[in-house]
Chain A
Amino acid sequence: MTDITSQTEAALAAIAAAASLDALEAERLETLGKKGWVSLALKTLGSMTPEERTAAAPAIQSARASIAEALDAKKAALEAAALEEQLARETVDLTLPAVAAPKGSVHPVSQVMDELAEIFADLGFAVATGPEIEDDWHNFTALNMDETHPARAMHDTFYFPDKTTEGKDVLLRTHTSPVQVRTMLVAAQTSPGGAPVRIIAPGRVYRSDSDATHTPMFHQIEGLVIDRDIHLGHLKWTLETFLKAFFERDDIVLRLRPSYFPFTEPSVEVDVGYANENGRRVVGGSGDAQGHAWMELLGSGMVNARVLEMGGFDPGQWQGFAFGVGVDRLAMLKYGMNDLRAFFDGDPRWLAHYGFSPFDQPTLSAGVGARA
């Protein structure tokens, strides 16, 4: 009896003293292993008489239980300590820099074109495109500027030495307006005499002009609406609506001034009111208000009957309006760039600063503008 008791106490002491899982395992084998003394003692029970067994069993079984419990507890403690030690060993300095994936950006011109496409889609305008290298018929003649028209000289046109097979001059389009002509011609093919049209046409345009505020290449967006009863009031509303949506403010005030473009009649130049805030032009408010002024923003008008005719439309049946506005200019006004030439330099510092996250996709539900 006392033998088992003292043996048990010795075993429990040894378990408590075990410094490692290996030492603990050795002690387990010593006690509960196949040849451990507890196991051997338990085996002796089988050869005993019932009386002997009743007398001896409780002590042995009690020893086994207490040793097993101690072994489990010690194992858990040792494992926990080992894990602690492992975690301590694995600790890293997280103030060290992580390698970041490079950040890309969308160019402001593209972003603004996407914004405009979104705004005008809601108004039912499809996006049309056309060639940048045009012939003089589409760029000038069909827009009511024949060879001798003085307005041609105002366009600072880039020409190629070539002629088309039809003998027309080849040039870089000076505006997006030839897309109007092409759109009408296509519409008139399927629907002789004309059909309703609602398009915007964004793209590159070219003028032989270079100074602080002009680059020989820039971007324009053209708008064209033709239907049976479209008038100047619709033009005004469309421009107001698009500018309100674009600048995301309701206080956009336009001033319409009579002007002259060969392809529209009447022709209207559109000014927008703005304020100077910290050296920046902030669009909004009437130009006549205190601290405000007007700035020329775009040209527009009712499509000239001759232009309709040359586009295959019957001017007796159809009328509409057209407008053209500088995309780079809109981008500068909205997002605050001040140097047009930087748009075309490809400097990653500028592109990162003024560019847009690819996830700032303009949508009507989330807002077309991306705030700083």
Chain B
Amino acid sequence: MKFSLTWLKDYLDTTASVAEICDALNAIGLEVEGVEDPTEKLAGFRIAHVLTAARHPDADKLQVLTVDTGDGQPLQVVCGAPNARAGMKGVLGLPGAVVPANGMVLRKSAIRGVESNGMMCSTRELELGDDHDGIIELPEDAPVGTAFSDYHGSDPVIEVAVTPNRPDCMGVYGIARDLAAKGLGTLKPISMPGFAAEGACPVEIRTDDPEGCPAFYGRVVKGVTNGASPDWLQARLKSAGQRPISLLVDLTNYLMLGFGRPAHAYDLAKLSGAVVARRAKDGEEVLALNEKTYTLDSEMMVIADDKGVHDIAGIMGGEHSGVSETTTDVLLEIAYFDPARIGATGRKLGLSSDARTRFERGVDPEFLDAGLDLLTGLIVELAGGTPSEVVRAGSPPSQAKVIAFDPGLTTRLGGVDVAETEQKRILESLGFSVDGAWQVTCPLRRNDIEGPADLVEEVVRIHGLDKVASVALPRAEGVARPTATPQQKLERGLRRAAAASGLNEAVTWSFLPEWVAEHFSDGNNAPWVLANPISEDLKAMRPALLPGLLMAAKRNADRGAASSRLFEIGRRYFRGADGLSEEKPTLGIMLAGEKTARGWQSGKAKPFDAYDAKALAVQLLEAAGAPVANLMVMGEAGPQFHPGQSATLRLGPKTVLARFGMVHPATLKAFDVDGPIAAVELFLDAIPAKKGAAFARPSFTPPALQAVTRDFAFLVPATLAAGDLVRSVQGADKASITGVRVFDVFAGPGVPEGKKSIAVEVTLQPGEASFKDADLKAISEKVVAAAAKLGGELR
């Protein structure tokens, strides 16, 4: 809502300054979004008298003027306006002044070699209108030398944000009422121009949809002269950002902006028969005032006559029956529509308007007759004509809400003591009536008031939120208790462990381009796509963390980054059984570019490999408390991974804790990014929770006897996984073998075709007594036998 100070003062008797008014508006919940003060805007512009005008010696279209600005020392000014001439009075911008329209700072300068000490301005340059054909011409009696803002009138314009619960403040009068309650002045009664109605309304008015349109009042005014509005009206509309159109249109807008009350004027000559508020027929069409055609359905309401639809009820009038310059007889409509129906219609049509904004929030049901009389009176006063009596179809809601209010609630909920008399004063000044038993009757326009808490809000916002004192929350005895859940602790710990491993935490979008989501889907689920995405790139919910990181890695490579080591902790999104989501906490890692740069020690740059991914996966799973000793390395990392250089880490065949490996070359190609790139995903919801509840750990004493190691080299089938051999050897003598470590893998000269050599170091831990030769021999035999089961032979 925008309005000028003058307009506000039409309704509010106040001596408050603009600054005081703005502070008060902010304090009572009408947030000031801006103040436009023409005094500031027009600083440096003065009324000037053109004394002489001569052709510029070097430019056909320019003139050299001497102008008097009242100090007796005429200034020379170069001017390009065709209407500049000796004897006229206009507006001169002096050096240092800022042209409002373009922000240009005026300077003393030479224009084609002739000195110019300012600029004569057009209406458009001063943002006072659209005229740019010539400079402003002021009347003969304009006082030369006076600041133009003083002469023109400096009416500050205030813009406030009105919250959707306050349709009563979508008119200047409502704002004045709130300010008066705050003590900023006295609310003036609405001044109603008098008029005499003659005869019954010649048009039949009906509402055939009393649910959607409970009340439809009308009146005809005959013999009006439509034309331009008077200056006071134009100035008010302009301050509200509304373009003056014609008197009849402007007056309906004045009623809406001044009093929050939309109304409509039809050209009576274009109507035929009864004018009816009814449901639209499915498929019925209307050409609206915005020159667009809308197709309606039976959930929507229209105002129609025998011939057709003239108005999308409560939202926008029709082009056909709108008033024009030649209109002489008008039908005025003032109605009350069901807010929900208006909102639904507006949403369905995607059509917003000032009328819809007010009707869908709820206009004052008690302001139909008064609004219609005010409009009629102004029309008769300014456009002439003879009004008929009002014809009323239906009636607006009239049941006022009564709330049993305990004024003590203001302290208990609002945290501030306000004397009961003051609470009563505040409520009454806002239009509530309070009886002796604190039964509070709400004005019908305040449809936002639901219960006692709303009344507390009214009292506190007028009394002043700044008067609410801070009160400490009661706190529990002792030291603050831990508040994080195990999942939160897990994520926090993993985040710092990953960062400590040299990875940068990224946050990427939860949504992806659809093809990307498709590419990373598990094959069973189609991507989950938004119905109204903001762009094609942010359309489908991510089924994995890797694609977002991969796209980031690509952006980084395109920017010339040598490497990206990124991780992210976030959710993957899947459709759940109940139609809602399953959101799975996940950690993703992307290792792209150089693992080590070329170096004087290390030689050439080295890329990341699948073992880098494995190391991070295992290390972070261990940090997460997973039993990494029991992890099985299995396949099926997914089609986005290199099939020969990727794996899953599982606890048992079905519990997948992680997948890792090299990104598939086809995926790299699809994302247009250079490889090799290694990736990891940890599935945090699959990691078993730590079981122990106690702080104390199982007792442990390091063994007294030293462990011994024995090396074995086996020739095994080339296809045998080293992990299988290790696991087999590990199990050969569980009492003694505490570690098995691969230290060499070799195939080539000296190793038969189809075989490879794997060398392991086996750690043996003696218990009570040292191993004797016979013990070691027995263990060795078991180790060899275990390897033999997998086709291994001791070299």
Q: Is the CB of B466 within 8 A of A256?
A: yes
Contact of B468 with A by CB under 8 A: yes
Q: Is the CB of A237 within 8 A of B600?
A: no
**Distance in angstroms between the alpha carbons of A210 and B164 in the assembled complex:** 23
User: What is the interface of chain A mostly: helix, strand, loop, or mixed?
Assistant: mixed
Contact of A322 with B by CB under 8 A: no
0/1 interface trace, chain B 541-554, chain A, CB 8 Å (1 if under): 10000001100110
Q: Is the CB of B580 within 8 A of A135?
A: yes
**Distance in angstroms between the alpha carbons of A230 and B414 in the assembled complex:** 9
Question: Known interface pairs A96-B600, A148-B344, A234-B415. Does A258 touch B506 (Cβ–Cβ under 8 Å)?
Answer: no
Q: Is the CB of A110 within 8 A of B578?
A: no
Question: Known interface pairs A104-B503, A162-B575. Does A348 touch B476 (Cβ–Cβ under 8 Å)?
Answer: no
Contact of A56 with B by CB under 8 A: no
Residues of A within 8 A of B563 (CB): 348
Question: Known interface pairs A154-B164, A352-B504. Does A257 touch B27 (Cβ–Cβ under 8 Å)?
Answer: yes
State the Cβ distance, B508 to closest chain A Cβ, in Å: 6
Contacting B at CB under 8 A, from A84-116, are 96-97, 99, 101-107, 109-110, 114
Residues of B within 8 A of A127 (CB): 483-485, 488
**Distance in angstroms between the alpha carbons of A241 and B533 in the assembled complex:** 39
Q: Is the CB of A165 within 8 A of B579?
A: yes
Residues of A within 8 A of B483 (CB): 117, 120-121, 124-127
Residues of A within 8 A of B27 (CB): 257-258
Q: Find B580's partner among A133, A148, A150, A229 (CB 8 Å cutoff).
A: A133
Residues of B within 8 A of A305 (CB): 450-451, 453
Contact of B555 with A by CB under 8 A: yes
**Distance in angstroms between the alpha carbons of A344 and B552 in the assembled complex:** 9
Q: Is the CB of A225 within 8 A of B473?
A: yes
Residues of A within 8 A of B501 (CB): 104
**Distance in angstroms between the alpha carbons of A96 and B110 in the assembled complex:** 65
**Distance in angstroms between the alpha carbons of A270 and B487 in the assembled complex:** 32
Contact of B528 with A by CB under 8 A: yes
Selecting from B101-109, B394-402, B564-572, the interface stretch reads: B564-572
Write the chain B residue with the least CB distance to A254: B470
Interface size class of B (residues with CB under 8 A): 35 or more
Question: Known interface pairs A217-B510, A259-B163. Does A345 touch B599 (Cβ–Cβ under 8 Å)?
Answer: no
Residues of A within 8 A of B596 (CB): 99
Contact of B556 with A by CB under 8 A: yes
Contacting B at CB under 8 A, from A316-372, are 319, 343-349, 351-352, 355, 357-359, 361, 364
Residues of B within 8 A of A102 (CB): 502-503, 565
Q: Is the CB of B453 within 8 A of A302?
A: yes
Selecting from A5-13, A63-71, A261-269, the interface stretch reads: A261-269
0/1 interface trace, chain A 257-289, chain B, CB 8 Å (1 if under): 111100001111100000000000000000000
Contact of B457 with A by CB under 8 A: yes
State the Cβ distance, B329 to closest chain A Cβ, in Å: 36
0/1 interface trace, chain A 227-267, chain B, CB 8 Å (1 if under): 00111111111101100000000000001111110000111
0/1 interface trace, chain B 425-464, chain A, CB 8 Å (1 if under): 0000000000000000000000010110110110011000
Q: Is the CB of A123 within 8 A of B505?
A: no
Contact of A314 with B by CB under 8 A: no
Q: Is the CB of A148 within 8 A of B343?
A: yes
**Distance in angstroms between the alpha carbons of A225 and B475 in the assembled complex:** 12
Q: Is the CB of A160 within 8 A of B531?
A: yes
**Distance in angstroms between the alpha carbons of A269 and B343 in the assembled complex:** 26
Residues of A within 8 A of B555 (CB): 345-347
Contact of A164 with B by CB under 8 A: yes
Contact of B349 with A by CB under 8 A: no
**Distance in angstroms between the alpha carbons of A246 and B34 in the assembled complex:** 30
Residues of A within 8 A of B599 (CB): 97, 99
State the Cβ distance, B782 to closest chain A Cβ, in Å: 41
Contact of B378 with A by CB under 8 A: no
**Distance in angstroms between the alpha carbons of A308 and B566 in the assembled complex:** 42
Contact of A131 with B by CB under 8 A: yes
Q: Is the CB of A206 within 8 A of B580?
A: no
Q: Find A258's partner among B28, B497, B502 (CB 8 Å cutoff).
A: B28
Q: Is the CB of B476 within 8 A of A124?
A: yes
Which of A170, A231, A357 gathers the greatest number of chain B CB atoms within 10 Å? Answer: A231
Which of B164, B480, B505, B596 gathers the greatest number of chain A CB atoms within 10 Å? Answer: B505
Interface size class of A (residues with CB under 8 A): 35 or more
Contact of A204 with B by CB under 8 A: yes
Q: Is the CB of A266 within 8 A of B473?
A: no
State the Cβ distance, B434 to closest chain A Cβ, in Å: 19
Q: Is the CB of B31 within 8 A of A97?
A: no
Q: Is the CB of A104 within 8 A of B565?
A: yes
State the Cβ distance, A104 to closest chain B Cβ, in Å: 4
Q: Is the CB of A117 within 8 A of B484?
A: yes
Contact of B236 with A by CB under 8 A: no
**Distance in angstroms between the alpha carbons of A252 and B601 in the assembled complex:** 54
Write the chain B residue with the least CB distance to A157: B532
State the Cβ distance, A240 to closest chain B Cβ, in Å: 6
Write the chain B residue with the least CB distance to A98: B601
Contact of B559 with A by CB under 8 A: yes
Residues of A within 8 A of B450 (CB): 265, 305-306
Write the chain B residue with the least CB distance to A270: B465
Contact of A58 with B by CB under 8 A: no
Contact of A304 with B by CB under 8 A: yes
Residues of B within 8 A of A122 (CB): 480
Write the chain B residue with the least CB distance to A96: B600
Write the chain B residue with the least CB distance to A352: B504
Q: Is the CB of B164 within 8 A of A151?
A: yes
**Distance in angstroms between the alpha carbons of A354 and B533 in the assembled complex:** 30
Question: Known interface pairs A104-B499, A161-B531. Does A217 touch B473 (Cβ–Cβ under 8 Å)?
Answer: no
Contacting A at CB under 8 A, from B474-502, are 475-476, 480-485, 487-488, 492, 495-502
Residues of A within 8 A of B509 (CB): 216-217, 344
Q: Find B565's partner among A120, A160, A348 (CB 8 Å cutoff).
A: A348
Write the chain B residue with the least CB distance to A238: B473
Residues of A within 8 A of B530 (CB): 158-160, 172
Q: Is the CB of A170 within 8 A of B510?
A: no
Contacting A at CB under 8 A, from B597-646, are 599-602
Q: Find B466's partner among A117, A159, A255 (CB 8 Å cutoff).
A: A255
0/1 interface trace, chain A 192-223, chain B, CB 8 Å (1 if under): 00000000000010101110000011000000
Question: Known interface pairs A104-B503, A348-B564. Does A232 touch B460 (Cβ–Cβ under 8 Å)?
Answer: yes
Contacting A at CB under 8 A, from B558-590, are 559, 561, 563-566, 569-571, 573, 575, 577-581, 583
Question: Known interface pairs A154-B164, A234-B473. Does A269 touch B507 (Cβ–Cβ under 8 Å)?
Answer: no
Q: Is the CB of A236 within 8 A of B415?
A: yes
Write the chain A residue with the least CB distance to B496: A358
Q: Is the CB of A237 within 8 A of B507?
A: no
State the Cβ distance, B595 to closest chain A Cβ, in Å: 9
**Distance in angstroms between the alpha carbons of A216 and B416 in the assembled complex:** 39
Contact of A132 with B by CB under 8 A: yes
Q: Is the CB of A348 within 8 A of B507?
A: no
The 10 nearest A-B residue pairs measured at CB: A346-B552, A258-B29, A233-B415, A102-B502, A260-B163, A266-B457, A133-B581, A258-B461, A164-B579, A233-B471
A-to-B contact residues, CB < 8 Å: 96-97, 99, 101-107, 109-110, 114, 117, 120-127, 129, 131-135, 148, 150-151, 153-154, 158-166, 168, 170, 172, 204, 206, 208-210, 216-217, 225, 229-238, 240-241, 255-260, 265-269, 302, 304-306, 319, 343-349, 351-352, 355, 357-359, 361, 364
Contact sample, A vs B, 15 pairs, CB 8 Å cutoff: A107-B505, A107-B506, A126-B483, A129-B487, A148-B344, A158-B531, A158-B532, A158-B533, A159-B530, A161-B531, A231-B415, A236-B468, A260-B164, A348-B564, A357-B499
Q: Give 7 A-B pairs besides A106-B496, A347-B555 with Cβ atoms closer than 8 angstroms.
A: A99-B601, A230-B473, A265-B456, A266-B414, A346-B548, A352-B504, A355-B504
